[in-house]
A and B are shown apart, each in its own frame.
Chain A
Amino acid sequence: MDDGFFAEFDSLERLQRALERLRDHGYRALDAFTPFPVEAIDAMLGTRPRAVTRIGGLAAAAGIAVGYGLQWWLNAVVYPLDVGGRPPHSPLAFVPITFETAVLFCGIATFAAVLGLSGLPRLWRPAFEIEGFERASLDRFWLFVAADDRCFEPRRTHELLLGLGSLRIATIGVHAP
Chain B
Amino acid sequence: MRRWIRGEPSDAELDAQLLSPVWTPASRLWQLAFLATGAGVFVLVVLVTWAMIEGIGLFGNDIPAAWAMPIINFVWWIGIGHAGTFISAILLLLEQRWRTSINRFAEAMTLFAVMQAALFPILHLGRPWFFYWLVPYPSTLEVWPQFKSALPWDAAAIFTYFTVSLLFWYLGLLPDLAAVRDRAPGRVRRRIYAVFALGWTGSSHAWRRFRIGYGLLAGIATPLVISVHSIVSSDFATTLLPGWHSTLFPPYFVAGAILSGFAMVVMLLVPARAVFRMHHVVTDDHLDAMAKMILVTGWIVLYAYLVETYLAWYGANEFEAYQTLVARPFGPYAWVTWLTVVCNTCVIQVLWWRRARRSVALLWIVAVLVNVGMWCERFVLIDVSLMRGFMVSKWETYVPTLFDWGILVGTLAFFSLLFLVFLRFVPFVPVYECKALVREEAEEARRG
Residues of A within 8 A of B (CB): 12, 31-38, 41-42, 45, 49, 51-53, 56, 60, 70-71, 74-75, 78-79, 81, 83, 86, 90, 93-94, 96-97, 99-101, 103-104, 106-108, 110-111, 113-115, 117-125, 127, 134-139, 144
Tell me the residues in window 220-235 of chain B with beta carbons closer than 8 Å to chain A beta carbons: 220-221, 223-224, 227, 231, 234
Select B183's contact among A104, A113, A138, beta carbons within 8 Å. A138
Considering the chains assembled together, what is the distance between the CA atoms of A103 and B159 in angstroms?
Answer: 11
B193-225 interface code vs A (CB 8 A; 1 in, 0 out): 011001111111111111111101100110110
Considering the chains assembled together, what is the distance between the CA atoms of A114 and B213 in angstroms?
Answer: 6
Contact of A53 with B203 in the complex, beta carbons under 8 Å:
no
A to B contact number (C-beta, < 8 Å): 197
Select A74's contact among B145, B159, B171, B231, beta carbons within 8 Å. B145
User: B147: CB under 8 A from chain A?
Assistant: yes
Contact of A35 with B160 in the complex, beta carbons under 8 Å:
no
Contact of A36 with B175 in the complex, beta carbons under 8 Å:
yes
Contact of B167 with A108 in the complex, beta carbons under 8 Å:
yes
| A31 partner residues in chain B, CB cutoff 8 A | 203-205
User: B90: CB under 8 A from chain A?
Assistant: no
What is the interface residue range for chain B against chain A?
A: 35 or more
Considering the chains assembled together, what is the distance between the CA atoms of A60 and B223 in angstroms?
Answer: 14
| A41 partner residues in chain B, CB cutoff 8 A | 204, 207
Considering the chains assembled together, what is the distance between the CA atoms of A121 and B194 in angstroms?
Answer: 10
| A49 partner residues in chain B, CB cutoff 8 A | 205, 208-209, 212
B251 to chain A, nearest CB (A): 16
Interface of chain A: mostly helix, strand, loop or mixed: helix
Q: Which residue of chain A has its CB nearest to the CB of B154? A: A96
User: B11: CB under 8 A from chain A?
Assistant: yes
Interface of chain B: mostly helix, strand, loop or mixed: helix
Contact of B163 with A137 in the complex, beta carbons under 8 Å:
no
A7 to chain B, nearest CB (A): 14
Contact of A139 with B10 in the complex, beta carbons under 8 Å:
yes
User: B178: CB under 8 A from chain A?
Assistant: yes
Residues of B within 8 A of A (CB): 10-12, 15, 136, 142-149, 152-153, 156-157, 159-160, 163-164, 167-168, 170-171, 175, 178-179, 181-183, 194-195, 198-214, 216-217, 220-221, 223-224, 227, 231, 234, 432-433, 435-436, 439
Contact of B220 with A33 in the complex, beta carbons under 8 Å:
no
A22 to chain B, nearest CB (A): 13
Q: Which residue of chain A has its CB nearest to the CB of B434? A: A36
Select A96's contact among B12, B153, B182, beta carbons within 8 Å. B153
Contact of B12 with A139 in the complex, beta carbons under 8 Å:
yes
| A123 partner residues in chain B, CB cutoff 8 A | 194-195, 198-199
| A127 partner residues in chain B, CB cutoff 8 A | 201
Contact of B146 with A52 in the complex, beta carbons under 8 Å:
no
Q: Take A36-B435, A79-B144, A83-B146 as given contacts and tell me if A120 and B200 are in contact as well, using a CB distance cutoff of 8 Å.
A: yes
